[in-house]
Amino acid sequence: MANLLVKIVRRLYRKPQIKRLIVPCKSLDGALLTYQARIPLDIELLPSDVEEVEDCLAHIPPEHRFDVARRIQHGDRCCVARHAGQIVYVTWIAFGACYSYALDREYKLTQEDAYLYSAYTLPEFRGNGIHPAAHCHIARLLKDWGYRWLLCFIEPENTAAMRLPDKLGYEKIGVIGFVEVFGFRRYFHRDCRACSALRRQDGWRKM
């Protein structure tokens, strides 16, 4: 009983919050952009092997690789860029469904959609155009695999990331997020056109 009261009090005093993410979408139909990084790169997909991926990413900060096993078991693929043999960039591609860490929520994808997330470049290699180069490589690969759309979620406060969609040919199609009051969340999803890639599950959810 005491534990229940503590939980109730904590929830009542929890600060209300609003979380909002921009949803850019890129068409893979037609001619795709190419981008040349300022340093030589070898871009590749790592095998879907948990131990091998964890070993390859051992030098990446833990917060960017803490759930490698879950990602691979879910069917996500890890793409890396190497410079002089060293992995200097990593990102992930999701199929079928994608998970937003910021919203703690899963979204369903159609068979024509892929989702790009969790991109990270080693600090000493930033400013060399690695992410745009890797992104264009991934877009061509996904097109060859038969995918038609590439999605990502971006926090509006991330000014550097917000500049990339226009640079890489994305269209900002909408906004997703949640409003939380007293520990209860109501998710929302607003888009500028019909977007079958995102599953609507509006409603209050206990945290």
pTM: 0.87
CB 111 within 8 A of CB 153: no
Cα–Cα–Cα angle for 137, 176, 185, nearest 5°? 135
Assigned token pair, 156: 């509006």
- Can you tell me the distance from the alpha carbon of 181 to that of 2, in angstroms, rounded to the nearest whole number? 23
Segment holding 131, helix H or strand E = helix 130-144
Give, as one character, the DSSP assignment of residue 57.
T
Question: What was the pLDDT predicted at 9?
Answer: 60
- Can you tell me the distance from the alpha carbon of 201 to that of 128, in angstroms, rounded to the nearest whole number? 40
Cα→Cα distances 200→111, 163, 203, Å:
17, 27, 9
CB 192 within 8 A of CB 173: yes
Assigned token pair, 31: 């001619």
Question: What was the pLDDT predicted at 13?
Answer: 65
Q: Assign domain 15-206 one CATH number from 1.10.150.120, 3.40.50.300, 2.40.160.60, 3.40.630.30.
A: 3.40.630.30
Domain ranges of the chain: 15-206
- Can you tell me the distance from the alpha carbon of 13 to that of 156, in angstroms, rounded to the nearest whole number? 27
Question: What was the pLDDT predicted at 207?
Answer: 37
Question: What was the pLDDT predicted at 145?
Answer: 97
- Can you tell me the distance from the alpha carbon of 40 to that of 44, in angstroms, rounded to the nearest whole number? 13
The low-confidence residues of the chain, meaning pLDDT below 70, are: 1-13, 191-207
